[in-house]
Structure 1
Amino acid sequence: MALAGRRARRRGVDIWPGFVDALATLLMAMIFVLLVFVLAQYFLGNALSGREQALNRLGAEMAALAEQLSLEKKANQSLQADLGRLSGQLTSSEAERERLGHDVAALDALKAQLEARVAELDGKLGEAGTALEGERQVSAQARAELALLAQQVEAAKQELARVAAALEAAEKAGADQKVQIADLGKRLNLALAGKVEELQRYRSEFFGRLRQVLGNRPGIRIEGDRFVFQSELLFDTASAELGLEGITQVRALAKTLNELSAQIPKEINWVLRVDGHTDRRPIASGRYPSNWELSTARAITVVQTLVANGVPPDRLAAAGFGEFQPLDKGETADALAKNRRIEIRLDQR
C-alpha cells in the first residue's frame, strides 16, 4: 500500500511540465496577437495621417480660390459703385437741366405777358395823353389817372427787366450745366480711353515678348487676344499634373510676366487670366467627376506654378469652362484636340 501511494504521488507531479508548456505557448500566442495589433494600429495611423494632410491641402486650395473670388467680387462691386455714382450725377444733371428748361419756358411766357401788358398800358397812356392834349383844361382826376398809369408802366418795366435778368441767368446756368456735363463725359471718356490704350500697349508688349520666348513651337498658337496651349503639351490625359514640358513652358511664361510686370504702372489694375477648356467627351476618372472639375484643376495648377515662380497671386485668376466653349464644333479627332486647351490672356480687372 505504501508503494502504491508513492507511485500515485509520482504520477501527479509529472503533470506540471506539460501544463507549463501549454501556458507558455498561450502566452507567446497572445504576445504575437498584440504585436500584430500594434503594427496594424501604426500603419492605419499613417494612412489616416496621409489622408488628413491631403484634406488639409485641399482645404487650403479651396480657401485660396475663395479669396480670389472675394477679390474679384470686391473689384466688381467697386466698379459698379463708381458707375452708379456717375450715373446718379448724370441723372441729377439731366434733371437740373430739364428744370432750368421749364423755368426758362415759364420766364418766356411771363415776359410775353408783361410785354403785352406794357403795350396795353403804353396804348392807354398814349390815348390818355392824346385826349389830355386835345383838352385845354385837365381835371385832377385825369391827372391822377395819368400818374397812376405812369406808375404802372414803370412798375411793369421794372418787372420786365427783372424777368429778363432772371431769364438771362437761367439761360447762362443751363449753358454752364451743359458745358459741365459735356466736360465730365469728355474727361471720363478720355480717362477710360487712356487706361485702355495703356493696357493695350502693355498687352501688345507682353504678346511680343512671349512670342519671342515660346517661338513657333508646336501646340502653341495665338487666338485673338490670348495665347492658346494645347492640353497635351502641358498635361497627360485626364490629369491636372504638369509634365516636364508643361513645367518648362509655364516657367518661361512666369519669367516673361515678372519682367513685364515691373514696367507696368501700379495704377493699371491688370490681371492674367488662365482659362481651362476640355473637349465634349465625358471624363472617365474617379478623381474628376466631370470636365468642369478637370478644366478648373488644370487652370489652378498653372496658376500655382506661376505663383511658385514669383508671379504675385493677386495678379492671377483661374477659371474652368469644361467643354462649353469649343473652338471647333466638329467631331473629328483634330476638332476635339483643338478644344482641349489652356488659354492665357492679359486683361483688366
Structure 2
Amino acid sequence: MARTIRGRNNGLEIWPGYVDALSTLLMVTIFVLLVFVLAEAFLSVALSGRNKTITALRSEIAQLSHVLALQKSKTASLQDELASMASLMKAAKTREAALMAANAALTAKTATLGAAVTAAGGKLAGQVKLNAQELQTVSLLNQQIAALRLQLATIAAALDAAQKKDQEEHVQIADLGQRLNEALARKVQSLEQYRSEFFGVLRKALADQKDIKVVGDRFVFESAVLFPSDSARLSAKGKAEIAKVAQAIEAIAPKIPDKINWVLSVTGYADKEAITGGPYKDNFDLSAARALSVLHLLIADGVPKNRVVAAGFGADHPIATGNTPQDLAQNRRIEFRLTSAD
C-alpha cells in the first residue's frame, strides 16, 4: 500500500517538469517567429527603397531620351530643308546648262544658214534671171532663219527665267543659313552673360582648389577631388564641392529669363587604364555612374530636375595625351557646362 502511494506521488512530481519544458519550447518558437517577421519587415523596406530608386532612374532616362529625340527631330528637319534647297539649285543649274547648250547649237546653225544665204545671194547677184527652184530655195532659207531667230528668242527668255530663279534660290539658301546662324548667335549671346556670371561665382567659391580649373566654357573637376579610386560614391569633400556648384546655380538661376531654355551639363570622363575589379565592367560605366551621382546630389541640393543633364564618355576626349600619372589624373574628371537645352 505504501509503495502504491509513493509511485503516484512520483508521477505528480514529474508533471510540472513537462509543463515547464513545453512552456519553454513555446516561448522559443514564438521568439523565432518574431525574428522572422522582423526580418521580413526590414527586407520589405529595403526592397521598397530600391524600387523607388529604380523608378526614379527610369524616369530620368525617359526624360533624357525625350530631349534627345526632340533635338534629333529639329536637326533632321533643318537637314531636309537644306537638302531640298540644294536639290532645287542643282536642278536649276542642270536646266541652265541644257538651255545654254541648245542656244549654242542654234547659234551655230543660224550662222551656217546665214553663210548659205550669203553665198546664195552672191550667186543670184551674178545671174540676170532667177529660176523658180532658186527662188524657192531662198524663200525656204529665209523661213528657216526666221524660225531659228524665234527659237533663239524663246531660249533666251527661258535662260533669263532660269538664271533669275537660280539667283532667287541662292538668296533663299543664303537667307536660311543666315537666319540659322543669327538664331544660334542670339541664343549663345543671351546665355553668355549668365555663363560668365556663373563662372565668376563658382570661381570665387573654389578659389583655393588647385585640382579644379576652367577649360574654355567648362569647369573641370579632377575625379580625385570628388570620388575615391574606382568608385562612384562621392566623398565628404566631394559633396562639399558639389554643394558650391549648386549654390552658384541657385544664385544666377533667378536672373536668367524664362525664354532662355538653359541646362547645366554634367559630363563624366575616365582615363584609358582598364578596370580590373569593382562593380563597373569598364571606364564608360564608371564615368556614367559618377556623372549620375553628381546629378543626383545637385538635385538634392536644390537644382531643378529639368535644369541638369548628365552623360558619360569613358576614356574618349582626353585633355592630356601622355601616360604619366599626372596625365591620367587630368583625364579622370567631371566637367560642368552651362549651355542651351534647344
Distance 1:63 1:234, change over 3 A: same
Per-residue displacement from partner, 1:319-345 (whole Å, max 9, x unpaired)? 123344443355655444433321112
Match of 1:299 among 267, 280, 291: 291
Aligned residues with identical type, % of pairs? 24
Contact persistence 2:266–2:310 (CA under 8 A) = yes
What aligned pairs does 1:208-287 form with structure 2 within 5 A after superposition?
208-214=196-202, 215=204, 216-218=207-209, 219-235=211-227, 238-241=231-234, 243=236, 244-256=239-251, 258-259=253-254, 261-262=256-257, 265-266=259-260, 271-279=263-271, 286-287=278-279
1:197 pairs with one of 185, 188, 191: 185
In structure 2, distance between residues paired with 1:129 and 1:270? 89
What's the CA shift for 1:99? 2.7
Distance 1:41 1:322, change over 3 A: same
Distance 1:242 1:198 in 2: 40
Select which of 41, 52, 56 maps to 2:52: 56
**Secondary structure, in 3 states, of the residue corresponding to 1:227?**
strand
Q: Flag the 1:39–1:262 CA change in 2: closer, same or farther, 3 A.
A: same
- Please say which structure displays the higher CA radius of gyration: 1
Question: Structure 1 CA distance, aligned partners of 2:117 and 2:302?
Answer: 89
**Does 1:176 pair with 2:169?**
no
Q: CA deviation at 1:50?
A: 0.6
SS in 2 for 1:327: coil
Letter aligned with residue 15 of structure 1: G
Pick closer, same or farther for the CA change 1:103–1:315 going to 2, 3 Å.
farther
What amino acid is aligned across from residue 106 of structure 1 in structure 2? A
- Tell me the equivalent position of 2:112: 116
Counterpart contact for 1:275–1:321, Cα < 8 Å: yes
Partner of 1:88: 84
Q: CA deviation at 1:213?
A: 0.8
Do 1:327 and 1:339's aligned partners in 2 also have CA atoms closer than 8 Å? yes
TM-score between both structures, scaled by the size of structure 2: 0.80
Query: What secondary structure does 1:90 align onto?
Result: helix
Aligned partners of 1:234 and 1:186: how far apart in 2?
Answer: 48
Distance 1:108 1:260, change over 3 A: farther
Structure 1 residue identity aligned to 2:332: R
Q: What residue in structure 1 maps to residue 72 of structure 2? A: 76
Q: Tell me which residue corresponds to 1:341.
A: 333
1:127-174, Cα deviation, whole Å (9 max, x unpaired): 44653xx24xx7xxx35852x446424422431232122221232133
| 1:248-295 alpha-carbon deviations (Å, 9 max, x no partner) | 3121232255245426x45xx654321112445666874545443332
> How far apart, in 1, do the equivalents of 2:79 and 2:99 lie?
30
Contact 2:82 2:173 in 1 (8 A): no
State the shift of 1:13 in Å.
6.4
**1:34–1:310: structure 2 CA closer, same or farther, 3 Å change rule?**
closer
Give the secondary structure class of the aligned counterpart of 2:319: coil
- Change beyond 3 A, Cα 1:49–1:324: same
Counterpart residue identity of residue 162, structure 1 = L
2:315 equivalent to 1:320: no
Q: 1:170-221, CA deviations, whole angstroms, 9 ceiling, x for partnerless residues?
A: 3213322331342133223322332343344245423420232122342431
Contact kept in structure 2, 1:277 and 1:321, CA below 8 Å: yes
Unmatched runs of 5 consecutive residues or more in structure 2: none
Q: Which amino acid is 1:19 matched to?
A: W
In structure 2, do the counterparts of structure 1 residues 311 and 189 end up closer, same or farther at CA, with 3 Å as the change threshold? farther
Whether 2:153 is the aligned partner of 1:165: answer yes
Q: In terms of mean alpha carbon deviation, does 164-173 or 229-238 score higher? A: 229-238
Code of the residue aligned with 2:149 in structure 1: it is A
- Equivalence for 2:33: 37
d(CA) in 1 for partners of 2:262, 2:88:
32
Consecutive unaligned residues of structure 1, counting only runs of 5 or more, are none
Amino acid of the structure 2 residue aligned with 1:303 = L
More deviation in 299-308 or 6-15? 6-15
Are the aligned partners of 2:243 and 2:298 in contact in 1 as well (CA < 8 Å)?
no
Letter in 1 for 2:233: A
Mean Cα deviation higher: 196-205 or 210-219: 196-205
Aligned-CA RMSD value: 3.4
**Count of residues in Structure 1 that have an aligned counterpart in Structure 2:** 334
C-alpha contact (below 8 Å) 2:262/2:307 kept by paired residues: yes
